[in-house]
Amino acid sequence: MSENKEQPQNLEDNLPMVNYIMLHRIYDMMTLIANHFDPEKAEKMIEYHEQGYLLGPSPSFTPPEEVDQNA
CA–CA dist 6, 46 (Å, integer): 38
Task: Tell me the helix, strand and coil percentages in the chain, rounded to 5.
Answer: 55, 0, 45
Sequence-distant (6+) residues with CB within 8 A of 41 are 34
pLDDT at 35: 87
Q: For the segment 34-60, what is each residue's pLDDT rounded down to a tens digit? A: 889 998 988 888 788 778 776 566 666
Question: How is residue 70 annotated by DSSP?
Answer: T
* Domain boundaries along the sequence of the chain: 14-51
Q: Which of 11-20, 40-49, 61-70 has the lowest mean pLDDT?
A: 61-70
CB distance 29 to 62 below 8 Å: no
Give the separation between CA 31 and CA 59, rounded to whole angstroms.
7
